[in-house]
Structure 1
């Protein structure tokens, strides 16, 4: 058994796809704009769908999904965590692209991390691998 796909609720799947691919560097695993369906994968996730964990950019048009997304965002809680080799380098790179962060990177008991706003209804935590 392996993890095949997970999802994150977003306000606008197309805009989220643009941010997650164009800004964060994910790759498109599947895009069907006519169905408002976008799935991305990390660039190190292998080619095609085999071996890749998909991240479904799920529309928050369901009231339960919207309440969950908005509740996490209002509380300042990240909806998802991405691993990166160097949090401080990503903080500089993304900050130069206009990405908004809650604060500067910090070191805690689990390592170095920082939280950014994806502009699509979520906070995302970057954690150093």
Structure 2
């Protein structure tokens, strides 16, 4: 059986992304290593062991491929990653109260309720809650 162990998201500032993904979104730090020359290797994951073997790599987004990819997604309004939540309305209220900017708030989108927020690190992120 093959399972997802890690996926990455390009960010324009790893330290700032680490603070946002942990302090605001509530993820836990799984790995934080200083690789020298100001380069950090940081992974985060869902809190309380919800998905203990799945990590999100906050990957440096510098370089022509990563920067153009990230910018193109952002300008097109396409989220770079999708997170699931149990109560989208409550999570939208919580994050909005922390100053998170939502280009679009909760709305029906096919089989889910969805909202999109700006992660302050160059990306749009989608939150979804299954309907019903």
Q: Would you say same fold, with TM above 0.5?
A: yes
Give aligned pairs, total: 126
- State how far apart, in whole Å, the 2-side matches of 1:25 and 1:45 are: 13
Higher alpha-carbon deviation: 26-35 or 51-60: 26-35
TM-score normalised by length of structure 2? 0.89
Alignment partners' CA distance in 1, 2:125 and 2:59 = 15
1:124 offset after TM fit, Å?
A: 0.2
Gaps of 5+ in 2: none
Which of 42, 46, 66 aligns to 1:42? It is 46
Q: Name stretches of at least 5 consecutive residues in structure 1 with no aligned partner.
A: none
2:118 maps to which residue? 117
SS in 1 for 2:105: coil
1:2-39 Cα shifts (integer Å, max 9, x gaps): 11100000000110000000000000010114431110
Q: Displacement, 1:62?
A: 2.3
Q: Give the ranges of 4+ consecutive aligned residues of structure 1 lying more than 6 Å apart after TM superposition.
A: none
TM-score (norm 1): 0.91
Aligned-partner SS, 2:121: coil
* 1:26 equivalent in structure 2: 27
The equivalent residue for 2:82 is 81
